[in-house]
Amino acid sequence: MDRWSYRILDVFSNRPLAGNQLAVFEDAGDIPEHLLQVLAREIGFSETVYLTAGSDDSDAAMRIFTPASEVPFAGHPALGAAITCASRTGRTQIRLQTGRGVIVVFVEQGSGGAFRGSMHQPIPTVATAPNAEAILAAIGAPRSELPVMIYNNGVSHVFVVLNTPEQVAALRPDLQALTSLAGTLDAALVGFNVAAGSGDCWKTRMFAPAAGVPEDAATGSAAGPLALHLARHGLIDWGQEITIKQGAELGRPSELLASVALTENRVGPIIVSGQAHMVGGGWFDASLLRASATA
């Protein structure tokens, strides 16, 4: 049977069956373009990755799809894709071609089947969020302890900071209002992030209903910008590594590590790390889907 096979990973988790789910098609070169979004929607994870052959400066090219749209970069897909490549090739440094250029991920295998990856993320642009009051109202927060800002590293992330992790856990956002607000921002994908914590321990939740992700279990593309946001406003030190807890409200607890340096008034590198587990896989009947697409 002609099959399109994929692997399933749990990313940014210290154990299987937690963290953020990811599907990775390792050899997606013959999947028709019009089926990429359809298959991502069928799988239903927050992101699905399609890998094809790389170029001279990359080990593989990756495309990332949410259930609703393609995005140029995302964190847990990059980590999971790199670990997939490393498990196949034995390499410890993987270079992935993304919509935001080449992302370098360092991979090592740990105990119990776990992999650990560490990536250098793109430096985001920073802007004040328009409609801050409307954003707070849609999230259900009376105020933000820091200015409401947008960081874009391929995905636009809006950040709201609350007083306590308990306040973050108690949020019941208006997803329809957030979907409408996302449409006012010029970006392929908008994540609304809410964080609270102190020192090196922070809790976050991320909502991206316009992208087909009502809430995300672990948002790697937001981890680096969160560290940058906190460092810019003096809540953490430059170079300090923070631990980010996410996903408990979804029953998929996640842990991400992030740090951002400042050298001679230049931001970078931004480093995001975490563990992942290969937990399974699946396949689609390629002949059947090709035939149904032309029927």
157/69 Cα distance (integer angstroms): 16
Helices (H), 27-131: 33-43, 75-89
Contact 57, 104 (CB under 8 A): no
61/8 Cα distance (integer angstroms): 18
Q: Which of 33, 42, 47, 215 is catalytic?
A: 47
CA-based R_g, the chain, Å: 18
- Residue 47 falls in the annotated catalytic set: yes
Q: What DSSP letter does each residue of 142-210 carry, written as one string?
A: S--SS--EEEESSSEEEEEE-S-HHHHHT----HHHHHHHHTTS-SS-EEEEEEEEETTEEEEEEEEGG
Task: Give pairs for 256-261: CB < 8 Å, separation 24+.
Answer: 256/12, 256/75, 256/218, 256/219, 256/220, 256/223, 257/223, 258/223, 258/224, 258/226, 258/227, 259/227, 260/224, 260/227, 260/228, 260/231
220/217 Cα distance (integer angstroms): 10
Neighbour-count burial of 294, counting CB atoms closer than 10 A to its CB (0-12 exposed, 13-18 middle, 19+ buried): exposed
Contact 225, 153 (CB under 8 A): yes
**Catalytic residue positions?**
47
